[in-house]
């Protein structure tokens, strides 16, 4: 029995897009042609692979097994291409980097701008999601490298600490406790007992750290609300819906502009690592290897909104808005 890789790829598209018509559009083929190729694959294996009885095309039990192996087959093919390109050097290619929400929003764009300046022939894309979503794509092989807050727990992944950052507690500038940010004194956690705290969505590493900090401050019973993503959190804080523990780099511009205020609570939250993550068993492409080298040369976070620096220029230090607050 021979397994036709072309038909396997077509089958994989049907599974991914949950239908023959959607797969046909993705493959620039006619729907009957896609159906015929999948049927011939089923005939060669002597088993049904697609359940056609419902509104959507779904894999049978046999189809799920084949799809899992098919994904591994095509990931291995991508690694083979990467190995060949490793010999010829870094001239053209594509780089897809994953980033947890804060990192993907406030670190990766300027970093990839520097990368493009050094390697203009490489197309760069960013996938941004919470830590859980990024880890899933790393494990499935959809992403080769990622930069995330914290350290992932999956044993198939290897993490390397590159930078660190802290969470700071922010409030609207008119909040009664905001004056403490300019007076040099710290705020005791007990003073926050009546406040409402806005937390990131479940699956976010920031959410895990927010909950730990509130526990450390003795505020487990404080009123809480869930908000998806750092930008939405900032808008909710500005609107007076609550206070939020958020990355110092996510609010640097807002604090400078006077739209948010940092409350210097003592003790301050501990720093968390920013990690470069990849699969242990995956060969990095030349584009990915060049990106990891650039990331390892980074000495600090670039100011949010700063234009791209040249590839040899020194990165920025800790944002000025936080000097003295994390000590």
The pLDDT assigned to 184 comes to 58
User: Which of 83, 112, 143 marks a domain boundary?
Assistant: 83
Residue 73 lies in a domain: yes
21 and 141 in a single domain? The answer is no
The pLDDT assigned to 185 comes to 65
The pLDDT assigned to 87 comes to 56
User: Which of 83, 108, 124 marks a domain boundary?
Assistant: 83
105 and 19 in a single domain? The answer is no
240 and 283 in a single domain? The answer is no
259 and 179 in a single domain? The answer is yes
The pLDDT assigned to 72 comes to 87
52 and 139 in a single domain? The answer is no
The pLDDT assigned to 108 comes to 93
Tell me if the bond preceding 115 is cis, omega within 30° of 0: no
- Which of 266, 324, 308 is CA-nearest to residue 316? 308
Q: What is the pLDDT of residues 148-167, one digit of tens each?
A: 998 888 899 999 999 999 99
Residue 232 lies in a domain: yes
Instruction: Detail the DSSP E strand segments found in 103-156.
Output: 122-129, 145-149
Residue 68 lies in a domain: yes
The pLDDT assigned to 81 comes to 75
The pLDDT assigned to 182 comes to 52
Residue 40 lies in a domain: yes
192 and 172 in a single domain? The answer is yes
288 and 226 in a single domain? The answer is no
259 and 172 in a single domain? The answer is yes
Residue 317 lies in a domain: yes
Give DSSP secondary structure letters for 141-168.
Answer: TS-SEEEEES----TTEEEEEEEEE-EE
22 and 42 in a single domain? The answer is yes
- How many separate helices (H) and strands (E) can be counted in the chain? 12, 12
116 and 160 in a single domain? The answer is yes
Residue 256 lies in a domain: yes
Which residues in the chain land under pLDDT 50?
305-327
Task: Reduce the DSSP state of residue 274 to 3 states and report it.
Answer: strand
Whole-structure pTM value: 0.66
25 and 69 in a single domain? The answer is yes
Domain of residue 292, CATH code: 3.40.190.10
Residue 185 lies in a domain: yes
| Domain around 233 | 167-263
Distance CA 170, CA 244 (A): 6
The pLDDT assigned to 304 comes to 55
User: Which of 30, 65, 83 marks a domain boundary?
Assistant: 83
Domain of residue 50, CATH code: 1.10.10.10
Distance CA 25, CA 1 (A): 30
Residue 327 lies in a domain: no
- The domain tally of the chain equals 3
247 and 174 in a single domain? The answer is yes
The pLDDT assigned to 313 comes to 34
């Amino acid at each position: 029995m021979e397994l036709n890789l072309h038909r396997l790829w077509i089958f994989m598209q049907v599974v991914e897009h949950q239908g023959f018509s959607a797969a046909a559009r993705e493959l620039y083929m006619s729907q009957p042609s896609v159906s015929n190729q999948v049927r011939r694959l089923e005939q060669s294996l002597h088993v049904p692979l697609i359940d056609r009885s419902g509104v959507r095309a779904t894999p049978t039990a046999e189809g799920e097994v084949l799809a899992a192996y098919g994904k591994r087959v095509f990931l291995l093919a991508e690694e083979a291409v990467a190995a060949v390109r490793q010999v010829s050097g870094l001239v053209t290619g594509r780089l897809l980097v994953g980033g947890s929400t804060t990192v993907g929003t406030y670190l990766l764009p300027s970093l990839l701008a520097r990368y493009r300046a050094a390697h203009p022939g490489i197309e760069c894309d960013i996938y941004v999601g919470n830590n859980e979503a990024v880890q899933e794509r790393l494990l499935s092989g959809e992403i080769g490298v990622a930069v995330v807050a914290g350290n992932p727990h999956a044993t198939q992944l290897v993490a390397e600490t590159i930078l660190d950052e802290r969470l700071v507690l922010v409030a609207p500038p008119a909040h009664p406790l905001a004056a403490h940010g300019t007076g040099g004194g710290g705020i005791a956690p007990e003073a926050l007992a009546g406040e409402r705290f806005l937390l990131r969505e479940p699956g976010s590493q920031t959410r895990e750290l927010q909950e730990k900090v509130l526990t450390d401050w003795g505020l487990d019973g404080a009123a809480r609300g869930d908000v998806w993503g750092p930008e939405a959190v900032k808008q909710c804080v500005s609107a007076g819906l609550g206070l939020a523990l958020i990355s110092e780099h996510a609010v640097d511009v807002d604090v400078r502009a006077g739209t948010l205020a940092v409350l210097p609570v003592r003790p301050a939250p501990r720093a968390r690592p920013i990690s470069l993550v990849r699969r242990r068993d995956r060969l990095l492409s030349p584009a990915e290897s060049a990106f990891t080298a650039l990331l390892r040369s980074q000495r600090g976070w670039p100011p949010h909104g700063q234009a791209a620096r040249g590839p040899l220029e020194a990165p920025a230090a800790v944002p000025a808005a936080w000097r003295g607050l994390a000590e």
